[in-house]
Amino acid sequence: MNLYFSETQLAHKPTQFMMHGRIVAPFETPERASALVTALVGIGLTSLTPRDHGREAILAVHADHYVRFLETAYQRFSALSPRGPEVWPNVHPYRGAGADLAHRAPPRTTGIVGQAGWYMGDMACATMEGSFAAAYASAQAAINGADDIVDGAPASFALCRPPGHHAYSDRASGFCFLNNAAIAAERLRRRFSRVAIIDFDTHHGDGTQAIFYRRNDVFYASVHTDPSAYYPYFAGYGDEIGDGEGRGFTLNLPLAPGADDRAFAGANQTLAQAVKAFGAEALVISAGWDAHGEDPLSKLKVTTAGFAQIGAIWGSLRLPSVIVQEGGYSLIASAAAAPAFLTAFDRSIGQ
């Protein structure tokens, strides 16, 4: 299996993160990616630098005005005086959650402070000089991984960092700038008419859900921690099933805090049955290792063995699959969970 990763993805090095009213050191660090590369090459994956396919695939998901904001935000912010070290919003427009976020016109405000509030949904996306280059390279990893599948490979791994599933079509949030899973799904649609995205990150992929909420050609299914008292708070509930033509093509299975391997595997099995019923021809797996009980952001109690269990579940579908890296903030736990998942996945898919 090919693993796509670029050293450019390490250029995003935020220094601050707002958590529970305190500024703390970020959890989303370059070291996450480095630890995963080492662990996955160690089990036999072939690490390749992704080819640059330009912006076409990115703009199939994201608004051009949003991408241009990301590209220029730090340079524009640097002209402010006084200022902090990174672009960080301090104002936000009132917004709902769900499909209404899929398409917005550019903001009327032209200043960097106002635009940061418009295009950044929270204070988890501190943006510095290398942030756009890293996010762009991360998206290219997803594009290359999807192209492997389009070309006939049974599976590929896109080691996307920064992650992507909280990014809306025109909004960064939750450590995410460009939605790598959505970009991969759109790329797969060049060959496959029905694509499923399954997401087992401990946080609901609200951005991915919103992007496809009114569509019936891409099925989004997620198992995650109950968002009623957990990020992203405003999306990921069981009654969110899609809208319009997309009604019935979104499935959310929130888990109560403390859920263990058995509950996690059972929910993934339910998602797998739904993917079969949808008739998916290809699969995007948003793989977050932060459901691990040793992850600093986890409220679940999944073990490394639990990730092996779900690897077997998803491999047994034998669908062409691009696995897209999402969360996972313990270097040790992630470096154990990812190889366990992929080893079981490979064994089940017969690769």
Interval 159-195: pLDDT, tens: 999 999 999 999 999 999 999 999 999 999 999 999 9
What pLDDT, on a 0 to 100 scale, did the predictor assign at position 100? 56
| SS3 sequence of 211-268 | HHCCCCCEEEEEEEECHHHCCCCCCCCCCCCCCHHHCCCEEEEEECCCCCHHHHHHHH
Query: Rounded to whole angstroms, how far apart are CA atoms 350 and 252?
Result: 29
Query: Among all chains, which residue has been given the structure tokens 């997309």?
Result: 246
Cis, peptide link before residue 232, omega less than 30° from 0: yes
Catalytic residues, which ones? 166
Closest to 223 (Cα-Cα) out of 279, 261, 195, 173: 261
Closest to 207 (Cα-Cα) out of 189, 180, 226: 180
Query: Rounded to whole angstroms, how far apart are CA atoms 114 and 271?
Result: 40
Which two structure tokens, joined as six digits, stand for 74?
């730090």
Which two structure tokens, joined as six digits, stand for 264?
């996690």
- Kindly state the DSSP code that residue 301 receives in the 8-state scheme: -
Tell me the whole-structure pTM to 2 decimals. Answer: 0.96
The class that CATH gives domain 2-349 is: alpha beta
Domain ranges of the chain: 2-349
pLDDT mean values, one per 10 residues, the chain (351 residues): 98 94 95 98 97 98 98 97 92 61 82 95 95 99 99 98 98 98 98 99 98 97 98 96 97 99 99 99 99 98 99 98 99 99 94 54
What pLDDT, on a 0 to 100 scale, did the predictor assign at position 116? 95
